[in-house]
Amino acid sequence: MAGLKYEITKFLGVIGEGTKGWKKEVNLVSWNDRKPKLDIRDWDENHEKMGRGITLSKSEVEELKRLLAAFDPGEMEA
């Protein structure tokens, strides 16, 4: 990704792993020297390559937490 600067400022955890060994991680990431945001995406082992993901602001994280607290995972198909 030419011209894209990023720094993982805090590793929070892995929530899954793909068949090619990439891990779906939750991190705080600073994009282009901006304030870190919560980021969920696939990363290669060395954090040199990444897949598409989602980046959330503090208010978006708070709203997601509220929604997930009321969500029943049993509603999902296995």
Q: Which residues in 45-73 are b (16+ Cβ under 10 Å) and which e?
A: eeeeebeeeeeeeeeeeeeeeeeeeeeee
pTM (two decimals) = 0.87
pLDDT for res 77: 80
pLDDT for res 3: 81
Confidence of residue 19 (pLDDT cuts 50, 70, 90): confident
Q: What is the pLDDT of residues 37-78, one digit of tens each?
A: 999 999 999 999 999 999 999 999 999 999 999 999 999 986
Q: Looking at the predicted structure, is the pLDDT value of residue 2 above 70?
A: no
1.10.3720.10, 3.30.56.10, 2.30.31.70, 3.40.190.100: CATH of 6-71? 2.30.31.70
Q: Looking at the predicted structure, is the pLDDT value of residue 7 above 70?
A: yes
- Amino acid making up residue 53: G
Given a contact cutoff of 8 angstroms between Cβ atoms, the answer to whether 64 and 48 are in contact is no
